[in-house]
Amino acid sequence: MTPTLRLFACLIMLTTLSACSTSGQLSMIAKSGVDAITLLTSGRAYQTLGPAEGKACHYLLLFVPLGDSDISKAVDDALAPSGGDALLHVTTEKKYVTLPSFVYLLPIFERTCTSVKGTAVRFQ
């Protein structure tokens, strides 16, 4: 493959594949099924369980959706190993990868992943 052809192939790949990410921070997020307002207003003590992280991904392959990238699924994934009720000092990130990246074309492949990191706690 000639250098010109390699450069052309790289340019085509770079213009058709796009990626993007967003991030945010939260003080606390509870797993699904837990009433966070009751936990906060009751004044209950909590036990720190340590660092935790979780991820949830959604794929779109030839217009067929697979998976779930909802933040509640990522939180449940982070808290499952420790049995915690909530995450404190949470960092969230959502990453998108799409092929092709042109707005006017429907994607052949798309991946969206939501990840959370924080300190797992269990309320007493």
Task: Write the CATH number for 40.
Answer: 3.30.110
**Of 10 and 116, more confident:** 116
Tokens of 119: 């300190």
**The predicted structure's pLDDT at residue 91:** 97
Tell me if 33 is assigned to some domain: yes
The number of distinct structural domains making up the chain is: 1
Tell me if 9 is assigned to some domain: no
Q: What is the pTM of this model?
A: 0.78
Tell me if 11 is assigned to some domain: no
Tell me if 4 is assigned to some domain: no
Tell me if 2 is assigned to some domain: no
Residue 19 to residue 35: CA distance in whole angstroms: 35
68 with 59: CB under 8 angstroms?
A: no
Mean of all residue pLDDT scores within the chain? 87
Tell me if 103 is assigned to some domain: yes
**Of 61 and 74, more confident:** 74
In this structure, which amino acid lies at residue 95? Answer: K
Residue 109 C-beta-side C-alpha neighbours within 13 Å: 6
Tell me if 10 is assigned to some domain: no
Q: Which domain holds residue 32?
A: 18-123
- Lowest mean pLDDT, pick from 52-61, 63-72, 83-92, 96-105: 96-105
Tell me if 8 is assigned to some domain: no
Residue 56 to residue 90: CA distance in whole angstroms: 15
Closest to 123 (Cα-Cα) out of 3, 34, 57: 34
Residue 101 has pLDDT above 80, yes or no: no
Closest to 26 (Cα-Cα) out of 78, 99, 104: 78
